[in-house]
Amino acid sequence: MIPKVFREVIDLGDGREISIETGKLAKQAHGSVVVQSGKCMLLCTVVSNYKQADVDFLPLTVDYREKFAAAGRYPGGFFKREARPSDGEVLTMRLVDRVLRPLFPKDYHSETQVMIQLMSHDDDVMPDAMAGLAASAAIQLSDFPFECPISEARVGRVNGEFVINPTRAQLAESDIDMMIGASADSVMMVEGEMDEISEEEMTEAIKFAHEAIKVQCEAQVKLAEAFGKKEVREYEPEREDADLAKKIHDMAYDKVYAVARAASAKHERSAAFNEIKEEIKASFTEEEQEDFGGLISKYYSKAEKAAVRDLTLNEGLRLDGRKTDEIRPIWCEVDYLPSTHGSSIFTRGETQALATVTLGTSREANQIDMPSYEGEERFYLHYNFPPFSTGEARPIRGTSRREVGHGNLAQRALKGMVPEDCPYTVRVVSEILESNGSSSMATVCAGTMAMMDAGVQLKKPVSGIAMGLISDADSGKYAVLSDILGDEDHLGDMDFKVTGTADGITACQMDIKVKGLSYEILVNALKQAREGRLHILGKITETIETPNTDVKDHAPTMVSRRIPNEFIGALIGPGGKVIQEMQKETETTIVINEDPVTEEGIVEILGVGSKGIDAVMAKIDALLFKPTVGSVYEVKVIKMLDFGAVVEYTEAPGNEVLLHVSELAWERTENVSDVVNMGDVFDVKYFGIDSRTRKEKVSRKALLPKPEGYVARPPRDDKRSGGRDNNRGRDNRGRDNRRDDRKPREDK
């Protein structure tokens, strides 16, 4: 039986459409949709267990995978099967998770899985921009308790005009690349990179994307109604006790407020809060503690959050005693590590990042091999967050999604300031050594200084700051917090990270937890962030004002050289013999690429010190050397022959030419050694290609005076009688003149 298919179409306004379809695939999932734009198709399925898990959080897993078959390709590597997710896939998972998670009830703890798969790829459609739409649409068709439909959209700006879900080609020309996640009523998530735009321009881009998202949310509602909206499932809610909540609030609030107001350090403050919590728990009998379970801890956390928020809203003070717009003390240092190509330390309060820079050739570029995109990165940043940075001991099980996300944010913040003509592949690694608030922004600052220390000629230095927001809808009060602590991260209504130069924003990441945040508050928050960002930028430039003019003595110098396409093979040599010997002799690394436009060879020479690089450049010069007709060149004899000497141009070693015996001297020369010997250096004149021999001709005698009475030998007459072309009386019959009836020789 042919299944009944339900479909809604979203008009993007420029001839493009997005369709949402259900009823054909994956019907045993609790909700499934196929989202399509052009030839790009995403299948999203959602499943949630009916039994609550024995945890105090939502065990939500968002999984996004791109199938290589979707692009008609095989997976790379030895095993021809998709394996662990790529960084690009992980970043898409994070984007979707951050918007979905807050919309589930806080007491819903059933294991929930959202799986999004790229099943068909279109070069003109970027699939990650539709992943949030697919996830939300599938949930709308399920019976999950979920607050409202959401969607995500990418916004770019090409030639001053905003574009929703631009193509990759359009994105290459855009000065904005932002992903916005929102419901019909509220913006919830923003992440992206920009080309030094203003706070007002960023806000306008968010507004533009939100209008498109409203249309996508409406389409989900229509699809769910047509399909048949399911009743929301019943689940066992968390136990609540209003009397207990009030009792604990009354016991904890004033004490927590006093500790928060005391402006103590992180560990001291944590110990004081823990002491209050244990004191409250001790006031209950063992039977009461067992009966109330985790309610005591839950209600204490609520009381602590309320006290800290009230301190900030009422007195403008924060946990460490700072005012709302005050930045923690900063100290910086560069050139800390003696053997790296560049290094720096950035410490802000109790957050510390140690960054290193490594310079390499295009061979060290980061290769990206995804079904939706193939390419390479000549600048990339890796972020590591070891457990000791927060005073914890826990197992390390590979790179976490958080590390991928934070590293990507810092990379996007900095990459626009790396010059396009930077000859190096640049790798920045940030090691977080201490963490109490925004280690990703510390990474941006440390990365800036480390690259400047390494001699990377950044266009402008970049700094970053993490901001928070505490608001009270009833009173209308709100406070924007600059340079938030780790404790302030989770108790606020918004946390956002902004990076930029003195002239504008280069990247941002924003999570908004409060509904209906006004754009006025958002703009004010962004402007306060700019003031903090400039303050931090001042500390960076006090430490290192401009990039070092040269790389360090132990760091490699990179020189690039273009050569005509026809010389690439000669430089490589048979089986790579020439280039390998050259690298060994000069102690350099040589990489040859072909310009896809001009088809020229781009030779990258990487070496420590100038001696080896100069030697390679000399060999290339010799390879490319072309003598000019009529010019005089110094040569050296490198081989003696019976009919002349092989000479080498001294300004182009390895470039050889035959000096014929007849061009040695005006007098008749019986033996070449009578005139020149091995190693002799003298001048010759270049005559170009000889019309008779079709070979290059040089002459020594042309630079010598003619002897007195010299008589030139008459030229040979090739047409004289008895020449090679004469028949000389022979029978001129060729083999083809044999008689056709000649019998073949009989075998004996």
Which strands sit side by side in the sheet containing 601-607, from one edge to the other?
557-563, 601-607, 589-594
CA distance 83 to 75: 9
91 Cβ contact partners less than 8 Å away, ≥ 6 residues apart: 128, 404, 405, 408
Does the annotation place 325 within a ligand binding site? no
- Classified as helix, coil or strand, 182 is strand
**CA angle in degrees (0–180, nearest 5) for 273-274-277:** 90
Give me the helices (H) in 433-512, please: 439-454, 486-491
Tell me the residue type at 367.
Q
Tell me the residue type at 745.
R
Strands (E), 533-581: 557-563
Residues paired with 249 in a beta bridge? none
Does the annotation place 550 within a ligand binding site? no
Q: Shortest CA distance to 260 belongs to which of 213, 206, 221, 316?
A: 316
Length of the chain: 748
Two tokens, residue 333: 């240092």
Q: Shortest CA distance to 437 belongs to which of 390, 499, 368, 498?
A: 390
Contact 216, 135 (CB under 8 A): no
131 Cβ contact partners less than 8 Å away, ≥ 6 residues apart: 42, 44, 64, 92, 95, 96, 116, 152
Kindly report the backbone phi and psi dihedral angles of residue 664, in degrees, each rounded to the nearest multiple of 5, phi listed first. -75, -45
Element (H, E) at 170: helix 168-173
Contact 411, 402 (CB under 8 A): no
The DSSP output letter for 204 is H
Residue 212 CA, chain-centre distance (Å), reads 28
Q: Shortest CA distance to 619 belongs to which of 579, 587, 584, 647?
A: 579
CA distance 165 to 172: 13
Q: Shortest CA distance to 682 belongs to which of 707, 665, 662?
A: 665
Residue 341 CA, chain-centre distance (Å), reads 20
The DSSP output letter for 579 is H
At which residue do the structure tokens 């960084």 appear? 87
CB atoms within 10 A of CB 400: 14
**CA angle in degrees (0–180, nearest 5) for 734-735-736:** 90
At which residue do the structure tokens 């990206």 appear? 368
**With the C-alpha atoms ordered 374, 378, 381, 382, is the resulting torsion angle positive or negative?**
positive
CA distance 604 to 560: 5
CA distance 675 to 634: 16
Two tokens, residue 144: 């999950």
**CA distances in angstroms from 608 to 231, 322, 618, listed in the order given:** 70, 48, 17
CA distance 567 to 546: 39
Contact 654, 619 (CB under 8 A): yes
Contact 149, 96 (CB under 8 A): no
Q: At what angle do helices 577-586 and 610-624 cross, to 10 degrees?
A: 150
At which residue do the structure tokens 């949930």 appear? 139
CA distance 265 to 270: 8
Residue 202 CA, chain-centre distance (Å), reads 22
CA distance 666 to 664: 7
Annotated binding site: 489, 495
Annotated binding site for Mg(2+): 489, 495
